[in-house]
């Protein structure tokens, strides 16, 4: 199992994401620079958090046109696993790999807290049975307010594409949405940080379960490791 963590100018959770997979899950993990046009041999692409390109214009708007994103588009179209965290989620929405968009928090505040999240029954590996009914993950964002039109929300609900919902909505997100997947079930995105929840000194270690649930989409044998 091989993991690639993308690096954009302004990414600042790339090392956190790297260690979640390299140290937390003991997987072969490497960085891929935003100017690279190929991903190489890889099973999961992680789009990490941060402020790619300074969040200029809109969060993720510029990163979306990075050379590496063409390779990520092609990889996802072939069914490859893609996981966007925080700014990575914003980039995947801007790139159209996930539906919807993320706007300024309703409070206008940058929120940096640990959130209780309700786990939705979304996929055979991402559900309350494998993760627990509620998990705790830190958030740190100013623009995590998920928005989508009514028809789009209805599709998300009907296809069980919602992964996580906030128990106490910190940002005004529509339907308390904290994370979603694409319809095909190979592209995942969330504002909370599993990459800040895998060491004993972190607020929780639920990040390991979340990362495992994403990987287990293609490697179901993984579920036994943490269950």
Partner 1 sequence: MKISVIVTPKKNVLDPQGVAVGHALESLGFPKLKTTRVGKLIELEIEAVDSPEFRARLDQVCKDLLSNPVIEDYRYEIISK
Residues that bind partner 1 (CB under 8 A): 57-58, 61, 65, 93-94, 99-101, 103-108, 145, 147-149, 172
In angstroms, give the least distance from the CB of 57 to partner 1.
7
Q: Please, which residue, 104 or 118, has the CB nearer to partner 1?
A: 104
Q: Please, which residue, 20 or 69, has the CB nearer to partner 1?
A: 69
Supply φ then ψ for residue 131, to 5 degrees.
Answer: -105, -20
Question: CA-CA distance, 44 to 22, in Å (whole number)?
Answer: 13
CB atoms inside a 10 Å sphere around CB 118: 15
Q: Please, which residue, 133 or 151, has the CB nearer to partner 1?
A: 151
In angstroms, give the least distance from the CB of 169 to partner 1.
13
In angstroms, give the least distance from the CB of 58 to partner 1.
6
Q: Please, which residue, 94 or 120, has the CB nearer to partner 1?
A: 94
9 exposure class (CB count in 10 Å sphere: 0-12, 13-18, 19+)? middle
Q: What is the widest separation between alpha-carbon atoms in the chain?
A: 43
In angstroms, give the least distance from the CB of 189 to partner 1.
14
Measure CA 94 to chain center.
14
Q: Please, which residue, 19 or 147, has the CB nearer to partner 1?
A: 147
Question: CA-CA distance, 59 to 39, in Å (whole number)?
Answer: 23
In angstroms, give the least distance from the CB of 92 to partner 1.
13
Q: What would the two tokens of residue 6 be? A: 């993308």
In angstroms, give the least distance from the CB of 35 to partner 1.
18
Q: Please, which residue, 138 or 142, has the CB nearer to partner 1?
A: 142
Closest of 24, 225, 5 to residue 125, by C-alpha: 225
Q: Please, which residue, 78 or 168, has the CB nearer to partner 1?
A: 168
Question: CA-CA distance, 64 to 203, in Å (whole number)?
Answer: 31
54 exposure class (CB count in 10 Å sphere: 0-12, 13-18, 19+)? exposed
Closest of 6, 18, 19 to residue 76, by C-alpha: 6
In angstroms, give the least distance from the CB of 3 to partner 1.
29
């Amino acid at each position: 199992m091989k993991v690639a963590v993308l690096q954009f100018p302004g990414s600042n959770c790339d090392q956190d994401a790297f260690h979640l997979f390299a140290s937390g899950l003991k997987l072969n993990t490497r960085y891929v620079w935003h100017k690279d046009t190929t991903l190489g041999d890889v099973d999961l692409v992680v789009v990490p958090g941060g402020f790619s390109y300074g969040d200029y214009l809109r969060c993720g708007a510029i990163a979306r046109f990075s050379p590496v994103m063409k390779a990520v588009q092609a990889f996802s179209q072939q069914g490859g696993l893609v996981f966007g965290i925080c700014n990575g989620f914003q980039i995947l929405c801007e790139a159209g790999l996930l539906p919807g968009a993320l706007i300024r928090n309703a409070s206008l505040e940058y929120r940096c807290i640990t959130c209780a999240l309700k786990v939705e029954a979304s996929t055979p590996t991402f559900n309350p049975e494998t993760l627990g009914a509620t998990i705790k993950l830190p958030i740190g964002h100013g623009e995590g307010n998920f928005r989508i039109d009514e028809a789009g929300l209805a599709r998300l609900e009907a296809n069980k594409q919602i992964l996580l919902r906030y128990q106490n909505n910190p940002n005004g997100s529509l339907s308390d949405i904290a994370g979603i997947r694409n319809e095909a079930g190979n592209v995942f995105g969330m504002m909370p940080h599993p990459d800040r929840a895998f060491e004993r000194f972190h607020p929780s270690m639920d990040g390991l379960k979340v990362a495992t649930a994403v990987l287990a989409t293609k490697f179901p044998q993984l579920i036994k490791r943490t269950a």
